C-alpha cells in the first residue's frame, strides 16, 4: 500500500449450518444492513465482503456462505481451505438443525487445521431468536457447557430479522464477527 501506516488484513470466515437456518440472512444483515423474507437457497457458495476500518488498519472479512446441503458432498474440504474462523448457525425453532451442529463441527475439524496444528475458532449462532427459544429451553441444554464440551469459543442468540430494542443485546453482529479476528 502507498500508506506505510495502513495495514491491510484479509480473513476468510466460513458461515455454515443446515439449510434454511439463516446463514445468508445473517450475512445480509451484517454486510448490507437489510433483511428479506424471500427464501432463495444458496447454491454451492456465495461470497460477501465486509470491510472494517480501524485506527491504522483495514480488515477485510471474506464471508463464505456455504449452502446447507454441502456437508453431504465432498466439496466442503475445498471451501474450508485457508479459513481462519467459522460460524456454525442453527435455527432455535428446529431441533434437528441444532443436532446437526456437532456434525458440522466434526466435518470442519476433520478437514481444516491451522498451520499450528490447531482447529480454527468457531462461534455458535442460535438464530431466529425472534421466533422463540424452543431449542434453547426445551431439552435442558446448557449452552455454555455445550460450547465447552464441543470446542466452540462462544455462542450468541441472533435474529437476522428483528432489531427491536429488547433484542439489541442479542444481536451485535459487529461484536459477533469481530470475535474471530
Q: Does 35 bind Mg ion (CB under 5 A)?
A: no
Q: Does 20 bind ligand GDP (CB under 6 A)?
A: yes
Asked if residue 38 lies in contact with residue 161, where contact means CB atoms within 8 angstroms, the answer is: no
Give the residue, chosen from 11, 12, 14, 21, that forms a contact with ligand GDP under the rule CB under 6 A. 21
Q: Does 25 bind ligand GDP (CB under 6 A)?
A: yes
- Residue 94: count of CB within 10 angstroms of its CB: 17
Site for ligand GDP in 76-135 (CB under 6 A): 127-128, 130-131
- If residue 150 lies in a helix (H) or strand (E), which one and from where to where? helix 143-150
Minimum gap (Å) between residue 163 Cβ and Mg ion: 20
Using the contact rule CB under 5 A, the part of the chain among 5-13, 19-27, 82-90, 139-147 near Mg ion is 19-27
Buried b / exposed e over 123-154, threshold 16 CB at 10 Å, is bbbbbbbbeeeebbeeeeeebeeebeeeebee
Q: Does 12 bind ligand GDP (CB under 6 A)?
A: no
Angle (CA) 93-120-146 rounded to 5° is 40
Give the residue, chosen from 42, 93, 119, 131, that forms a contact with Mg ion under the rule CB under 5 A. 42
Nearest residue (beta carbon) to ligand GDP: 22
Q: Does 48 bind Mg ion (CB under 5 A)?
A: no
Q: What is the DSSP letter of 118?
A: P
Using the contact rule CB under 5 A, the part of the chain among 41-49, 110-118, 124-132, 162-170 near Mg ion is 41-49
- Which of ligand GDP, Mg ion, none has residue 61 at its interface (CB below 5 to 8 Å by kind)? none
Q: Rounded distance, CA 131 to CA 8, Å? A: 39
Using the contact rule CB under 6 A, the part of the chain among 18-26, 52-60, 101-109, 133-141 near ligand GDP is 18-26
Which residues are CB-contacts of 126 (< 8 A; sequence separation ≥ 6)?
90, 92, 133, 135, 136, 143, 155, 156, 157, 158
Residues that bind Mg ion in the complex, under the rule CB under 5 A: 23-24, 42
Amino acid at each position: 500500500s502507498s500508506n506505510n501506516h495502513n495495514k491491510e488484513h484479509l480473513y476468510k470466515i466460513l458461515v455454515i449450518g443446515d439449510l434454511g437456518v439463516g446463514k445468508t440472512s445473517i450475512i445480509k444483515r451484517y454486510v448490507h444492513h437489510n433483511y428479506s423474507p424471500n427464501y432463495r437457497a444458496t447454491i454451492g457458495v456465495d461470497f460477501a465482503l465486509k470491510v472494517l476500518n480501524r485506527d491504522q488498519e483495514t480488515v477485510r472479512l471474506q464471508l463464505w456462505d456455504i449452502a446447507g446441503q454441502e456437508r453431504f458432498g465432498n466439496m466442503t474440504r475445498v471451501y474450508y481451505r485457508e479459513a481462519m474462523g467459522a460460524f456454525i448457525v442453527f435455527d432455535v425453532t428446529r431441533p434437528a438443525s441444532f443436532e446437526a451442529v456437532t456434525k458440522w463441527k466434526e466435518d470442519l475439524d476433520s478437514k481444516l487445521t491451522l498451520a499450528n496444528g490447531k482447529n480454527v475458532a468457531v462461534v455458535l449462532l442460535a438464530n431466529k431468536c425472534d421466533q422463540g427459544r424452543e431449542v434453547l429451553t426445551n431439552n435442558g441444554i446448557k449452552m455454555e457447557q455445550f460450547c465447552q464440551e464441543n470446542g466452540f469459543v462462544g455462542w450468541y442468540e441472533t435474529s437476522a430479522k428483528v432489531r427491536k430494542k429488547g433484542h439489541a443485546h442479542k444481536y451485535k453482529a459487529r461484536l459477533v464477527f469481530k470475535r474471530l479476528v
